[in-house]
Amino acid sequence: MTAIHRKPDFGSIKVGETLPPLRWTAGIKDVEAFGEVLYSKTSSRATNPHLNAEYASQHIYGGLTVDGNQTVDFLCRMVASWLPRNASLSHDSVLDIKFPNPCRVGDTVEFRGTVTETSSDDQHHTVHVDVIAENQSNKVIAVGRISASLSR
Amino acid sequence: MSAVEQRPAYDWEHARIGDVAGAVTVEITADAVRQFNTTQQQAAGLPIEPDDPDLLAVPPVMVRVFAPLRRRELVAENGAEYPNHPTPAIRWSCRFFNEPKVGDRIVSVTRVQDKYIRKDRHFLEWRVDANRNDGTPVAEFTYVNLWDRGRAEDRNR
């Protein structure tokens, strides 16, 4: 179990600070469980490159890959579990994530983040975190920025 | 030949900026949010406490559930056939305006926002606007997919 080290308040967050990393091995059970909560009940498994190994083997990456949404969700959880409780990633917030390489089923992924900027206005504070996810071969599978807001 | 077989493939040349899918309404339910959070917290090895109110906080990625991308529906509504190969995600950008809550009924619309070529690869950019059913904006996001079959070297990436 990953321990939570939550920041107590906005004032305790410093630019340059790194977040405790999150690690995940992309097991097929986790990928399938995510599919259960993300995809509609009517979506076809036959043409899903995250769930159908035979279909995936015949196409671009030659094997099962992790849905990018699952990768982004882990990045969000890493950030959300570190920020103070009054932070929100889904109110006055922005996520911008690129997927330079596929995350393959079986990969071991490390999710990391660094605070790059903080700002404040009359209503809320904002914390900008540059985030990255790399697999065991140091290939970047996701990179970008999550900007969260904290109510004042 | 049936009507279905006569449909053109929705390849990059066929796609038009502005192609749109009709609006869809999805309610954010407590069960769906709890299941989503529990599934991902377990996978991440993060703690789960059954009474934790955070289990009912709508995570950002659930925008993909309550404001679904609906590419296949858009393609069908525009009288075409969806490509018969995967279309990998390249980029996801999402801006939230107002926090989605359990019980919200979200109305969303999907459209083709852009199409472009980079390094001889073809990309489609989709946009989804999500509002509460009273019109309050919740989120807007863009999603870019590679629309080619891929190259031999992609198998080693």
Give the residue with greater pLDDT, A43 vs B155. B155
How far away is chain B from the Cα of A124, in angstroms, using its nearest Cα? Answer: 13
Strand partners for B144: B91, B125
pLDDT, mean over chain B: 94
The stretch B104-124 carries a mean pLDDT of: 98
Average pLDDT over all residues of chain A: 94
Tokens standing for residue A51: 């769930």
Answer yes or no: is B26 within a domain: no
The answer as to whether B72 is a domain residue is yes
Distance between CA atoms of residues A91 and A93, nearest Å: 5
Q: Is B53 contained in some domain?
A: no
Tell me the CATH number at B103: 3.10.129.10
pTM of the entire predicted model: 0.95
Chain-chain contact of B61 with A72 (C-beta, under 8 angstroms): yes
Query: For the complex shown, is ipTM > 0.90?
Result: yes
Chain B contacts of A65, Cβ < 8 Å? 88
What SS3 class is residue A150? Answer: strand
Q: Are B96 and A30 a contacting pair at CB < 8 A?
A: no
CB-based burial of residue A22 (10 Å sphere; 0-12 exposed, 13-18 middle, 19+ buried)? buried
List phi, psi (to 5°) of A139. -85, 135
Residue B101 maps to a domain = yes
Contact indicator for A133, A75 with CB cutoff of 8 Å: yes
Kindly state whether residue B34 falls inside one of the protein's structural domains: no
pLDDT at A150 over 60: yes
Contact state of B96 with A38 under an 8 Å Cβ cutoff: no
CB A19 within 8 A of CB A113: yes
Q: CB of A140 within 8 Å of any CB in chain B? A: no
Average pLDDT over residues A38-47: 82
Give domain status of residue B106, yes or no.
yes
Q: What is the pLDDT of residues B62-112, one digit of tens each?
A: 999 999 999 999 999 999 999 999 999 999 999 999 999 999 999 999 999
The sign of the dihedral angle between the CA atoms of A131, A134, A139, A141 is negative
Residue of chain A whose alpha carbon sits nearest to that of B139 = A90
Q: Is residue B136 part of a domain?
A: yes
Give the count of domains, chain B.
1
**Within-domain flag for B62:** no
Residue A38 forms contact with B (CB below 8 Å): yes
Tokens 């099962």 locate to: A64
Residue of B nearest to A28 (CA): B43
pLDDT at A113 over 90: yes
Q: How far apart are CA B15 and CA B80, in angstroms?
A: 9
Q: Name the residue of chain A whose CA is nearest to B61's CA.
A: A73
Q: What angle do CA A117, A119, A123 make, to 5 degrees?
A: 150
Cβ atoms of A2 and A22 within 8 Å: the answer is: yes
A129 touches chain B (CB under 8 A): no
- Write out the residue range of the structural domain in which residue B85 sits: 68-149
Quote the distance between the C-alpha of residue A6 and its chain's center. Answer: 17
A37 secondary structure, DSSP code: H
